[in-house]
Structure 1
Amino acid sequence: MNRREFSATVLGAGLGAASLGLPAHAQGGPVEGRDYVKLSQPLPVPPGKIEVIEFFWYGCPHCNAFEPTLEGWVKKVPSDVAFRRVPVAFRDEPFVAHQKIFYALEAMGQLDAMHRKVFYAIHVDRQRLDKPADIAAFMAKNGVDAAKFTEQYNSFSVQTKTSQAKRLAESYRIDGVPALGVHGRFYTSSSLTGSAERALSVTDFLIQTVRKG
């Protein structure tokens, strides 16, 4: 999903080869500028492991379709790789509401149980989940304490995390989702590479690149 292509009724395919005027597939190994982008200025990363970030939005159909493939990949990441998700906000609403859903569930230890259910509610049940009352009702229906969720949803901690997520996506120059950031140095996406599977293959290549120094 590309911020320039977002509208009330149409969700674009994200930053990719088509918008850059570049071929979707590289011949042979991954090619910089075609399968992935190298940041001009590396970003600070936590010490100890190679960080991989999925930038996503709950309202993005491409992120929803990517999730099963990504989950399979995450289960196989090497021990020296640290994976995490970061929800993006290309504008205030409904993006910020969806960011707050993610971080409130995370704070409650409910993210693993509810992450796919949020996607399902939006893309299969066609719930918008952009109003606090509707979100709280959805949580209660799925066994999450609505009062505690609302407290977290409105908390300073969650607000801080949404601001940090926005700054991180901007620092990576993320212009569409889903996208994968690798150790503050690279990013790739299925729209750059042509498929979700190849995006993860390129991510593996970038992890090896970081590992080699």
Structure 2
Amino acid sequence: MQMLRRLLCTAALLTLSGVVAAAPAAPTAPKEGVQYRVLPQKMDTPAGKQVEVIEFFAYYCPHCNVFEPLLADWVKKQGDNIVFKRVHVAGGARVLPQQRLFYALDALGLVGQYHTKAFAAMHQQGARFANDEEVIDWAVKSGIDRARFVDAYNAFGTQAKARRAAAMMNEYRVDHWPMVAIDGRFITSPSMANPEGSPAQTEIEQQQVALQVMDALVEKAKAAKADKK
């Protein structure tokens, strides 16, 4: 099962070997069909100057775990340029408790406080989050009020968002993760941003290159919004 889960995550060929001082330079103008792709039909996104950025991720995914702190820093640097959202991907009955954990945290306004702790629980502390009881026990031990968490975990809205995630994966053509959608039309990921022959040598380097590609796509989306005025 663990091997299957790893295969479902983005296919990073090189394992993490440590933080590097600087990432290899990404193309100043990423190429469509190489470092990113364009959806056949643009998804609806919020109006205004801000660019919507959606990360498709899974708590069980080791690559998402590595990407999380780098992505969090990138989101902070983007500031008001973007509206950032996360979608926990679907994956059957064993993944559903993890989805509901994320959407319960989101409903309670606790993602900022507990998102990285959930990753740490799975990738450093041996949690599996394979059933409701394990998720609820972890939440309570982590300091969340049991009644509030259980209500949010079982809420119709939480279950609806988990179902909606599967539909969004189809709409955005998500076939590996972490994957990032920008402005409802551009799709990229660390593996896409680093095609064969890329100078990136470690997983973190690949992810840093992906963030540079994301920078370029956000600017591209902002320019398109400005042209519509």
Secondary structure at the residue paired with 1:76?
helix
Equivalent residues in 2 for 1:33-112 (5 A)? 33-48=33-48, 49-89=50-90, 91-112=91-112
Shift of 1:210: 1.1
**Structure 1 equivalent of residue 223 of structure 2:** 212
Contact kept? 1:15, 1:191, Cα under 8 Å: yes
Shift of 1:80: 3.0
Contact kept? 1:62, 1:178, Cα under 8 Å: yes
Distance 2:223 2:148 in 1: 45
Distance 2:28 2:112 in 1: 36
Shift of 1:138: 0.6
**Structure 1 equivalent of residue 180 of structure 2:** 180
Secondary structure at the residue paired with 2:137?
helix
Of 7-16 and 183-192, deviating more is: 7-16
Distance 1:70 1:158 in 2: 24
**Structure 2 equivalent of residue 22 of structure 1:** none
**Structure 2 equivalent of residue 9 of structure 1:** 3
Distance 2:79 2:222 in 1: 11
Q: TM-score, normalised by structure 1?
A: 0.87
**1:154-196: CA deviations, max 9, x gaps?**
1101011112222112101000100110011111000112311
**1:53-88: CA deviations, max 9, x gaps?**
111000000000001111111111142311111111
Contact kept? 1:16, 1:191, Cα under 8 Å: yes
Percentage identity across paired residues of the two chains: 37
Distance 2:114 2:27 in 1: 39
Q: TM-score, normalised by structure 2?
A: 0.81
Contact kept? 1:34, 1:192, Cα under 8 Å: yes
Distance 1:9 1:190 in 2: 20
Contact kept? 2:57, 2:177, Cα under 8 Å: yes
**1:94-125: CA deviations, max 9, x gaps?**
22211110110111121111100000000011
Shift of 1:12: 2.4
Contact kept? 1:16, 1:192, Cα under 8 Å: no
2:213 pairs, out of 179, 197, 202, with 202
Contact kept? 1:56, 1:178, Cα under 8 Å: yes
* 1:88–1:150 CA distance, 2 compared to 1 (3 A): same
**Structure 2 equivalent of residue 169 of structure 1:** 169
Shift of 1:13: 6.9
Distance 1:27 1:131 in 2: 43
Shift of 1:52: 0.5
**Structure 1 equivalent of residue 17 of structure 2:** none
Shift of 1:93: 2.6
Q: How many residues align?
A: 200
Distance 1:146 1:80 in 2: 36
Aligned-residue RMSD, C-alpha: 2.0
Contact kept? 2:9, 2:61, Cα under 8 Å: no
Residue type of the partner of 1:66? F
Distance 2:113 2:8 in 1: 27
